[in-house]
Chains A and B, each alone.
Chain A
């Protein structure tokens, strides 16, 4: 910057009175088809950004973000699941060499080594070569890590019971259940509540009994013969009791 004798300033400030002309630099001497960032390339970036934004908005409209029921710390049967980008770590901690007394291996040592190596990559891979084919060790390690992450995430996804997970997190309608009703007593006597919950709200192994949309006959049939994961023969009462139970459950409507 020009400084010193002969300089004129705006008032008593340090802003020079001689102003720099507001014209773009000349890029004609640059090699190849070099382009100015401002404003030529920025305009193209904005166009890419707009297309990206439209796709992104379509995603948010097509798939509203999920919300499960309010957190209940007393629910000990809930099977937790982290967000998808932590699944590989979650899966790693399920293996016997990385859990229990060896948790420190799965939780700290392996991820720590991986992240440490990533952080220090410029100092581990010091050669001047940049082409992947010329630095097989660094590229090989990265490909191996990538394969491990993809494998662990995949394993985590296929071993997770997604239906049970969707069921256990559902927002359930609050319904006042008459716990003195005869139907409720019959449910209690036949151990239905063990799986379907005290408020018939359902649980990890059983759906909610509120607002099933089934008729009394269908419910009686399920109570006797079972359905899905529920075995038959759980109901052990009389036909009259079965009738009362089915009518009670069929009458439970979500508000």
Chain B
């Protein structure tokens, strides 16, 4: 039955080369932990992607309850944490996943760095990877404000002061992020929400697509 459906679609759209070009590729011996246990270091990138998927899914569920306004943000998170079925788990996954994605990405970066895998011809992929690193830090920073509790507000104030210290454009960056040159309030929360949920994930998906396209095109770096 499934085969018949597949053939029906394939006859019309020729999908076999589409997915085979992506999925049907070789895994060299030196990256396969089944053959060399030390090759587990090659798992960090994949695990970063895995946690990112968890972040996207749990984040989608969180927005079903979260309200980005200063009166209800904290209340909605409190309700989600204490009243909603499995709310504690979903918020926990998003909260701990945020830390985990940083850890995994850091380990992945170190693996690539110490193996010198960023050298010709993989310079562009390294640059895209560092940009992903920055986007992830931005996601962590903007997401920290959203529960609108004490530590969120005051950590954001510190973060905005750091941004303000940039020469020349500092005050403009702060106003762009916070919505006001001085007040960290209702505007800041909605802006951080928009950045956290739309702008940065959009950038992240684009960069990740580029990252994966390049690794598929070039293949993984050879053994040392």
Within 8 A of A (CB), among B27-56: 27-30, 32-35, 43, 46-47, 50-51, 54
In the complex, chain B residues whose CB is within 8 Å of the CB of A118: 109, 130, 133
Contact across chains for A80 and B158 when beta carbons are under 8 A apart: yes
Interface presence of B218 (CB below 8 A): no
Having A81-B151, A85-B137, one finds 4 other A-B pairs with CB under 8 Å, namely A65-B95, A108-B166, A130-B115, A130-B116
Interface centre among B34, B77, B89, B165, by most A CB within 10 Å?
Answer: B165
In the complex, chain A residues whose CB is within 8 Å of the CB of B100: 56
Which are the 6 A-B pairs with shortest beta-carbon distances?
Answer: A60-B92, A130-B116, A80-B154, A65-B95, A32-B29, A71-B153
In the complex, chain A residues whose CB is within 8 Å of the CB of B77: 67
A residues with CB within 8 A of B: 10, 13, 15-16, 19-22, 24-25, 27, 30-38, 40-42, 44-45, 48-49, 52-53, 56-57, 59-61, 63-73, 75, 78-86, 89-90, 93, 103-104, 107-108, 115, 118-119, 121-123, 125-126, 128-132, 135, 138-139, 142, 146, 168-169, 171
In the complex, chain A residues whose CB is within 8 Å of the CB of B197: none
- Given known contacts A85-B99, A122-B126, A20 and B14 CB-to-CB distance under 8 angstroms: yes
Interface centre among A108, A135, A168, by most B CB within 10 Å?
Answer: A108
Cα A22 to Cα B70 in complex, Å, equals 55
B residues with CB within 8 A of A: 6, 10-14, 16-17, 20, 23-30, 32-35, 43, 46-47, 50-51, 54, 70, 74-75, 77-78, 81, 88-89, 91-100, 102, 109-110, 113-120, 122-123, 126-127, 130-131, 133-134, 137, 140-141, 144, 147-155, 157-159, 162, 165-167, 184-185, 221, 224
Contact across chains for A45 and B46 when beta carbons are under 8 A apart: yes
In the complex, chain B residues whose CB is within 8 Å of the CB of A31: 28-29
- Given known contacts A16-B14, A19-B14, A119-B127, A34 and B96 CB-to-CB distance under 8 angstroms: no
Contact across chains for B28 and A32 when beta carbons are under 8 A apart: yes
Contact across chains for B113 and A68 when beta carbons are under 8 A apart: no
- Given known contacts A10-B11, A104-B165, A108-B165, A44 and B81 CB-to-CB distance under 8 angstroms: no
- Given known contacts A73-B185, A123-B123, A107 and B13 CB-to-CB distance under 8 angstroms: no
Tell me what chain B mostly uses at the interface: helix, strand, loop, or mixed.
helix
Cα A122 to Cα B121 in complex, Å, equals 10
Partner of B119, one of A60, A67, A128: A128
Contact across chains for A57 and B13 when beta carbons are under 8 A apart: no
Partner of B144, one of A70, A82, A138: A82
**Chain B: which residue is nearest A105 at the CB level?**
B165
Contact across chains for B140 and A85 when beta carbons are under 8 A apart: yes
Cα A103 to Cα B163 in complex, Å, equals 11
Partner of A49, one of B32, B50, B150: B50
Cα A124 to Cα B112 in complex, Å, equals 15
In the complex, chain A residues whose CB is within 8 Å of the CB of B12: 10, 13, 15
Contact across chains for A103 and B165 when beta carbons are under 8 A apart: yes
Cα A60 to Cα B120 in complex, Å, equals 41
**Chain A: which residue is nearest B81 at the CB level?**
A67
Cα A45 to Cα B221 in complex, Å, equals 19
- Given known contacts A48-B43, A123-B123, A168 and B150 CB-to-CB distance under 8 angstroms: yes
- Given known contacts A81-B151, A104-B165, A125 and B70 CB-to-CB distance under 8 angstroms: no
Partner of A30, one of B23, B26, B147, B167: B26
Contact across chains for B162 and A93 when beta carbons are under 8 A apart: yes
Contact across chains for A107 and B162 when beta carbons are under 8 A apart: yes
Cα A61 to Cα B74 in complex, Å, equals 21
